[in-house]
């Protein structure tokens, strides 16, 4: 029987959840001749726990106490009743309605046609089966029986389900069949694969998923047409754990999942807030976490997030376009506010931060007096000093006003896109230079500040902070791009490469060797790989107080000679030296390259002497260009020195009166000057 069968919903109720489901499933399958459709339905009911909650009655208590063998016997009795009364559910329903009254079983059999051609023997056996299963109970020793409460309840439930299914089948038959014109992907759980296969589903070995072949009736596969998504529980809690995993320190009330950026302290922060996050609860809960100290940035989606239906590609595109439009509007609003401040700001001439770092002002400004600019219609405000700034921030927060407070006199470093359009700016406090911030909602990613001229630049350097970039520009004369932090190295580098496809680009990394993760080098290498650039890294192992040093500005302040030597021996320095040989014949170029390597090897631990020797070598290159250099190769020079050394040894073996003749050997590895080191002679 495909339709008139005992429905799983009638047996598997919420009261059975404490039973072993695998055993229950086997029991039901063994004793009920389900159609394939019913087996699939049973699996889904069991796995998803979508169970019919029947009215509380005596049957609930009774069935809850029986074991699986008793349950099988009970089901077998119900099946017998259905087998003998396939077309007479209404009569059984009537009987159930009056189950408190005893009835003559033989008379009922004749009335319903249960005896028919099968004879009284078959009927007697059926009555016995029903009695044995607890469906009927004898009232007297004759043919008087009553339906048990349990049987009456189940018969009524069976009738209701069958009637409901008849309506459903009629609706399906009346509607047009849902036929697939092409292969249609199915989302079939592993435990249901056999059921899906029996219905005609096929396995795509290459793409690793099930599908309904073209021409299939998709209604058969309705449970698997949409990708299942689990229901979510407290996305705020899950997102909070993500923030903590990235080192952000949660404050009371956080996370605030309102689609806006929020700042938090991270591990290692003394002042300022180096962490940021944005969380969304519309649609699927999601967000982004950034730790500017480590350079980590992670996009998060709630693991248990579920929408009840899978959005269409059109819905996704619309949502994406709306989010992009909202983000663009935020960027433009922040950019307009930044430009308004800059239009009234004065160029920096000197500043405590610049003095502290030992660098000059390159296209930077100072925050103006609040009377100089009207910021009422922006998300910015200006305070005259740090005390007023603190009071204003507390007042804005207490009144729910979204305003970012700048402090008069703070340094402003504009951040622009590849077209030179200001998108945001960084402020650096004037007291100790420890507090840095950007315009909230501004487009920092991919924006940068330029020191020097990028137009037709042959060489370009990219650094994290302003002070590092300023130091490199002032010491090399090369244009340097300020990316502001490690996380923005790649976005900024990609913009620079797009504008200067033929330039040689060098990423001047911070060396965060004292952190658990060396973010500076890791992010620099990632950026260099994307744009075919080289990375130059400062080293501090031989310097006093090295544990506090991390960037090229630190190196220059700690030891200017070592700064020059490390740059000169880097990939960039070697390329610079090679460029200076361009006007010499190849054989003469090899001579000078040999001396370059020789000096760097011999004077590796003496940066000041190394720098003096290289300066002398570069003067010799200028002489060579004019044909006035007779500098030998390193090998020839070493041979000459060997001859002189041997001659000196011979002289020392002569009588004392002859020892007045001596030959001075050049001290290439320790000093510099004319007549020494094999050049400038």
Measured over the CA atoms of residue 34, residue 38, residue 39 and residue 43, the dihedral's sign is negative
Q: Is residue 348 part of a domain?
A: no
Where does a domain end: 275, 310, 345? 310
Bond prior to 255 in cis (omega within 30° of 0): yes
pLDDT value, residue 294: 86
114 and 47 share a domain?
A: yes
Q: Kindly tell me the sign of the dihedral angle through the C-alpha atoms of 574, 579, 581, 587.
A: positive
For residues 163 and 189, membership in a common domain is answered with no
pLDDT at residue 404, rounded to an integer: 94
Domains of the chain: total = 5
DSSP-derived secondary structure letter, 664: P
What tokens does 499 get? 């504008």
- Other beta carbons within 10 angstroms of residue 473's beta carbon come to 22
Quote the pLDDT of residue 647.
84
Please check whether residues 124 and 12 belong to one and the same domain: yes
Q: Are residues 562 and 643 in the same domain?
A: no
Residue 570, Ramachandran bin (φ over 0: left; ψ between -120 and 50: alpha; else beta): beta
Indicate the pairing of strand 103-104 with strand 144-147. antiparallel
75/643 Cα distance (integer angstroms): 112
Domain membership flag for residue 161:
yes
Report the C-alpha gap between 229 and 224 in whole angstroms: 12
Residue 138, C-beta contacts closer than 8 angstroms, at least 6 positions apart: 131, 144, 145
Please give the C-alpha separations between residue 193 and each of 188, 225, 301, in angstroms, as whole numbers: 6, 14, 28
Q: How many residues does the chain have?
A: 681
3-state secondary structure of 293: coil
The whole-number pLDDT of residue 301 equals: 87
Instruction: For residue range 113-122, list pLDDT tens digits in order.
Output: 444 444 444 4
Instruction: List the chain residues with pLDDT less than 70.
Output: 1-136, 140-177, 228-233, 304-316, 432-434, 653-681
Whether 104 and 157 share a structural domain: yes
**Inter-axis angle of helices 119-132 and 105-112, to 10 degrees?**
120
Tell whether 137 and 251 lie within a shared domain: no
With respect to residue 434, please indicate whether it lies within any of the assigned structural domains: no
- Look at residue 5 in the predicted model and tell me its pLDDT: 37
pLDDT at residue 147, rounded to an integer? 64
The answer to whether residue 129 sits within a structural domain is yes
Q: What is the DSSP string of 65-79?
A: H--HHHHHHHHHHHH
Judge if 22 and 153 occupy the same domain. Answer: yes
Together in a domain, 143 and 201 = no
User: DSSP secondary-structure letter at 449?
Assistant: E
**Same domain for 564 and 618:** no
476 contacts 461 by C-beta, under 8 angstroms? yes
- pTM score, whole prediction: 0.56
Closest CA to 195 of 29, 64, 76, 74: 29
Q: What is the pLDDT of residue 543?
A: 82
Please tell me whether residues 215 and 137 are part of one structural domain. Answer: no
User: Which run of H or E residues covers position 145?
Assistant: strand 144-147
Closest CA to 410 of 392, 389, 379, 395: 389
Scanning the structure block, which residue is given the tokens 């009588």?
655
674, 624: one domain = yes
Which pLDDT score, from 0 to 100, does residue 46 have?
Answer: 42
CA distances from 133 to 18, 34, 48, 148, 673 (A): 23, 20, 30, 10, 114
DSSP state of 666: P
Strands, sheet with 184-186, edge to edge from the N-terminal-most edge strand:
184-186, 209-212, 202-204
CA 221, CA 40: separation in Å to the nearest integer? 10
Segment (H or E) for 398: helix 386-398
Q: Where among 310, 336, 361 does a domain terminate?
A: 310
**pLDDT tens for each residue of 273-293:** 889 999 998 878 899 999 988
- The domain of 480 spans 462-579
Same domain, 220 and 240: no
**Domain stops at, among 310, 326, 360:** 310
């Amino acid at each position: 029987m495909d339709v008139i069968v005992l429905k799983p919903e009638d047996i598997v109720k919420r009261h059975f959840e404490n039973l072993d489901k695998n055993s229950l499933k086997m029991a039901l399958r063994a004793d009920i001749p389900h159609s394939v459709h019913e087996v699939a339905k049973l699996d889904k009911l069991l796995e998803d726990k979508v169970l019919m909650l029947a009215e509380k009655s005596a049957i609930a208590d009774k069935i809850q106490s029986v074991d699986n063998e008793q349950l099988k016997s009970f089901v077998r009795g119900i099946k017998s009743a259905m087998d003998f009364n396939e077309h007479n559910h209404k009569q059984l329903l009537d009987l159930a309605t009056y189950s408190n009254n005893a009835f003559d079983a033989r008379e009922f059999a004749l009335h319903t046609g249960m005896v028919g051609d099968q004879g009284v023997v078959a009927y007697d056996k059926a009555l016995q089966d029903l009695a044995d299963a607890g469906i009927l109970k004898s009232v007297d020793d004759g043919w008087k029986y009553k339906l048990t409460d349990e049987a009456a309840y189940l018969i009524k439930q069976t009738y209701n389900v069958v009637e409901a299914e008849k309506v459903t089948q009629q609706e399906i038959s009346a509607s047009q069949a849902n036929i697939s014109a092409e292969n249609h992907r199915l989302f079939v759980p592993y435990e249901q694969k056999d059921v899906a296969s029996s219905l005609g589903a096929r396995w795509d070995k290459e793409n690793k998923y099930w599908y309904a072949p073209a021409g299939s009736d998709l209604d058969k596969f309705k449970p698997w047409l949409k990708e299942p998504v689990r229901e979510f529980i407290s996305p705020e809690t899950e997102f909070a754990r993500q923030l903590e995993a990235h080192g952000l320190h949660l404050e009371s009330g956080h996370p605030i999942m309102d689609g806006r950026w929020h700042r938090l302290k991270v591990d290692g922060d003394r002042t300022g807030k180096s962490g940021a996050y944005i969380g969304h609860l519309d649609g699927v809960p999601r967000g982004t976490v950034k730790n500017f100290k480590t350079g980590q940035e992670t996009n998060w989606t709630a693991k248990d997030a579920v929408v009840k239906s899978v959005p269409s590609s059109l819905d996704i595109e619309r949502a994406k376009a709306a989010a992009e439009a909202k983000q663009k509007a935020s960027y433009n609003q922040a950019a307009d506010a930044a430009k308004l401040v800059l239009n009234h700001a004065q160029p920096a001439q000197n500043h405590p931060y610049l003095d502290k770092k030992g660098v000059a002002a390159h296209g930077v400004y100072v925050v103006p007096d609040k009377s100089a600019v009207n910021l009422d219609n922006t998300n910015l405000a200006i305070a005259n000093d740090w005390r007023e700034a603190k009071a204003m921030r507390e007042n804005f927060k207490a009144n729910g006003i979204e305003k970012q407070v700048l402090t008069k006199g703070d340094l402003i470093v504009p951040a622009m896109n590849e077209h030179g359009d200001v998108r945001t700016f960084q402020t650096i406090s004037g007291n100790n230079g420890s507090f840095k911030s950007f315009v909230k909602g501004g487009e920092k990613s991919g924006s940068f500040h330029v020191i020097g001229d990028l137009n037709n630049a042959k060489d370009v350097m990219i650094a994290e902070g302003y002070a590092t970039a300023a130091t490199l520009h002032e010491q090399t004369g090369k244009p340097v791009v300020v990316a502001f932090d490690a996380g923005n190295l790649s976005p900024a580098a990609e913009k620079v490469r797009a504008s200067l496809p033929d330039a040689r680009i060098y990423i001047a990394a911070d060396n965060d060797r004292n952190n658990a993760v060396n973010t500076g080098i890791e992010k620099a290498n990632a950026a260099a790989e994307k744009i075919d650039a080289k990375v130059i890294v400062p080293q501090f192992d031989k310097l006093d107080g090295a544990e506090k040093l991390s960037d090229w500005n630190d190196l220059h302040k700690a030891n200017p000679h070592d700064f020059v030597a490390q740059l000169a021996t880097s990939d960039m320095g070697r390329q610079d030296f090679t460029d200076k040989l361009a006007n010499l014949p190849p054989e003469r170029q090899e001579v000078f390259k040999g001396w370059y390597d020789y000096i760097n090897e011999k004077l590796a631990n003496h940066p000041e002497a190394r720098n003096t020797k290289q300066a002398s070598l570069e003067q010799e290159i200028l002489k060579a260009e004019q044909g006035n250099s007779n500098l030998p190769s390193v090998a020839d020079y070493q041979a000459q020195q060997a001859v002189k050394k041997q001659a000196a040894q011979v002289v020392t073996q002569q009588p004392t009166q002859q020892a007045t003749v001596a030959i001075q050997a050049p001290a290439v590895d320790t000093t510099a000057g004319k007549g020494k080191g094999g050049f400038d002679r």
